[in-house]
C-alpha cells in the first residue's frame, strides 16, 4: 500500500525545483497534491499534468503566501474541493544574498514577507483548518548552521521559521498534528545555482562526505516520510537534509 493514500497535501511554491519534486513524490505515494504557485501558471500546470498523466491526483492553485486573504482563500478552496487538508508543506521561499551593507530595505522586506510572513499565514490557517492527526512540514536551510557571508537576512528569516515550528508544534499537538522543519543543504535547483560559478558549486559540494550537492528528489524523500503516519512520533524537530555538511 502506498504510504500517503487518502491524504490531501497542500504544497506551497510547488511549480518548480524542490517543491515540484515533492509534489511528484507525494503523488506517487498516493496523495492528492495541491500545487500552489504565485506567478508561473504554466509551470504549475505542467507539474499537474505530469502527475495526472502518471495516474495521480493534483490541482494547481494560485496564491501569494505573503497575502493573508489569498492564503485563507486557498485553504477554503482546497477544503471545498476535497473536504480536508491533511498535510501542509511550507516550501515557498526566496533567497537573496547580499552583504549587510548592500542589502536594501526592499530586499529585507521582500525576504521576510515571503519566508516569514508567508509561513505565518499558512500556519495561522492550518491552526484551525488542518485535519486532526495531520502534519506540517516547514522549510528552513542548512545555511542557518554554517554562517556564510551574504546570507544574513536569509538566515534570519529561516531562523524565524525554525522557531515557528517549535512553538506551533506545542499549540496544535493536542489534535495529533506533528510539526517539523526540513533544512536542505545546497541543492541542484535554479534558486540555488543561479548566478554561482561552477567552482563555487564544486566547493560547496566538497563540504559533505558524498562530495556532491543534493538533488530535489533527496529532499522530497525526507518530506514524504515526515508526511506519513510512520513519522508521527517525530515532532518539533529540524531535520538537516544536507549529506552531512552540517
In a domain, 246, yes or no: no
Half-sphere CA count of 162, side-chain side, radius 13 A: 19
pLDDT at 164: 98
pLDDT at 169: 98
In a domain, 176, yes or no: yes
CA 198 to CA 75: how far, in whole Å? 40
The CB density around residue 211, as the number of other CB atoms within 10 Å, is 10
In a domain, 35, yes or no: yes
pLDDT at 18: 98
Asked about 154 being catalytic, the answer comes back as yes
For residue 130, the Cα-to-chain-centroid distance in whole angstroms is 16
Provide the residue range defining the domain that includes 118: 8-241
In a domain, 145, yes or no: yes
**Which of 195, 197, 209, 199 shows the shortest CA–CA distance to 244?**
209
Antiparallel, parallel or unpaired: β 32-37 and 8-11: parallel
In a domain, 2, yes or no: no
In a domain, 1, yes or no: no
Indicate which CATH number applies to the domain containing 157.
3.40.50.720
For residue 84, the Cα-to-chain-centroid distance in whole angstroms is 19
pLDDT at 160: 98
Please count the structural domains in the chain: 1
pLDDT (tens, 9 = 90+) of the chain, 246 residues, equals 799 999 999 999 999 999 999 999 999 999 999 999 999 999 999 999 999 999 999 999 999 999 999 999 999 999 999 999 999 999 999 999 999 999 999 999 999 999 999 999 999 999 999 999 999 999 999 999 998 999 999 999 999 999 999 999 999 999 999 999 999 999 999 878 888 899 999 999 999 999 999 999 999 999 999 999 999 999 999 999 999 999
Beta strands in 2-131 (DSSP E): 8-11, 32-37, 57-62, 87-90
pLDDT at 1: 73
What do you get for the CA distance between the two ends of the chain, in Å?
Answer: 35
pTM for this one? Answer: 0.97
In a domain, 3, yes or no: no
pLDDT at 38: 96
C-alpha cell recorded at residue 191: 534558486
Amino acid at each position: 500500500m502506498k504510504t500517503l493514500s487518502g491524504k490531501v497535501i497542500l504544497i506551497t511554491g510547488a511549480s518548480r525545483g524542490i517543491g515540484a519534486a515533492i509534489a511528484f513524490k507525494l503523488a506517487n505515494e498516493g496523495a492528492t497534491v495541491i500545487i500552489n504557485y504565485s506567478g508561473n501558471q504554466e509551470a504549475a500546470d505542467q507539474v499537474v499534468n505530469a502527475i495526472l498523466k502518471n495516474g495521480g491526483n493534483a490541482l494547481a492553485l494560485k496564491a501569494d503566501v505573503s497575502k493573508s486573504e489569498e492564503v485563507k482563500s486557498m485553504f477554503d478552496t482546497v477544503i471545498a474541493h476535497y473536504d480536508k487538508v491533511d498535510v501542509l508543506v511550507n516550501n515557498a521561499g526566496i533567497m537573496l544574498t547580499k552583504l549587510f551593507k548592500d542589502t536594501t530595505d526592499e530586499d529585507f522586506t521582500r525576504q521576510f514577507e515571503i519566508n516569514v510572513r508567508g509561513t505565518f499565514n499558512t500556519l495561522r490557517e492550518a491552526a484551525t483548518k488542518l485535519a486532526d492527526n495531520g502534519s506540517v512540514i516547514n522549510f528552513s536551510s542548512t545555511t542557518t548552521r554554517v554562517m556564510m557571508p551574504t546570507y544574513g537576512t536569509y538566515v534570519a528569516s529561516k531562523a524565524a521559521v525554525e522557531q515557528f515550528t517549535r512553538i506551533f508544534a506545542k499549540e496544535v499537538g493536542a489534535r495529533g498534528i506533528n510539526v517539523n522543519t526540513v533544512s536542505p543543504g545546497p541543492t541542484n535547483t535554479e534558486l540555488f545555482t543561479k548566478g554561482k560559478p561552477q567552482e563555487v558549486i564544486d566547493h560547496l559540494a566538497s563540504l559533505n562526505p558524498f562530495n556532491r550537492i543534493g538533488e530535489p528528489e533527496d529532499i522530497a524523500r525526507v518530506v514524504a516520510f515526515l508526511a506519513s503516519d510512520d513519522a508521527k512520533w517525530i515532532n518539533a524537530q529540524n531535520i538537516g537534509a544536507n549529506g552531512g555538511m552540517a
